Structure 1
Amino acid sequence: MGIRNELHPQERGNNVNYLPPAPHMLSKTEKRIFCKRLANLKLPDGYSSNISNCISLEECKIVGLKSHDCHVLLHQLLSVALRGLLPKGPRNAIFRLCAFYNEVCQRVIDRNRLEQHEEDVIETMCMFERFFPPSFFDIMVHLTIHIGREARLGGPVQYRWMYPFERYLAMNYSLSFM
């Protein structure tokens, strides 16, 4: 059929088939570069927790992030850490999604730009469908399409997010053991 020939199985002698990696996969060296970039990142005090403590350079994994750390990673750090690592298509899709989330979570939201971003996020999801497998698309990915509408109806997200409640519950939890 000629569809995505670069992903077709390739025979490598003695009836051994090789499956090339998908365009959204990072190689081992790219994972190491990504983790090193995040581990060496210097952020201002109070901006987020020390993300370098959550990164295992030996295993190339990120573990133990709080919800605010994930927020900061998605909005600002992911687009910086992925520069030059992925092929252009998946990288641009991820950058567009990061920019959308960053725009939606601003303190002041321009309704006209928000309507444009709602249309752009649909195109971004189509870009994701080109590069990521169908198993990637669960309900949480689909809800991204509705976030712009929710921001338009409810106003800025800062008045409705969970961080103050998480801090309050964590404080109560720590006080209960004193």
Structure 2
Amino acid sequence: MVGRIGRPHGVRGEATVELRTDDPDARFVPGAVLRTDPAERGPLTVAGARWHREVLLLAFEGYDSREAVETLRDTLLEVPVADLPALDDPEAFYDHQLVGLATRLPDGTPLGEVTAVRHEGADLLVVARPDGGELLVPFVTAIVPTVDLAGGLVVVDPPEGLLDL
């Protein structure tokens, strides 16, 4: 996911976008085609992009009014995995690579499964616990020393008390 459509801006069919990409100026160029979730709302073609203060505003082909753009609110914007550039840093991962991985403590005790990655100032792994609860794990090397994509595993070495939250 590279973004989420927010509220309409103005009356000419622009929408605010909650960014989930570190290169929005390259990702949201006019003519870019984005998949959507839910899929029936797309694909969407970017007709225009501009910054208003610190908020990215996008216009989409075929959506030229405030009312039309309102129908897209909360739509997730995605790009095909094949279109993503390779990451140079071996310790960097795309969110989709982490979702679905099993999590274990260093001693092998299962913690659950990564269901999402949140970017809220710090990156957090959302782990669904076997008991039905949810655990938020700061995605930093000190707490997540191992990510084994091939093995489908994330090792979590939590500081004291993290598992009790």
Task: Report if TM-score (shorter chain) is over 0.5.
Answer: no
Greater CA radius of gyration, 1 or 2? Answer: 1
The structure with the greater share of residues assigned to strand is 2
Q: TM-score, normalised by structure 1?
A: 0.30
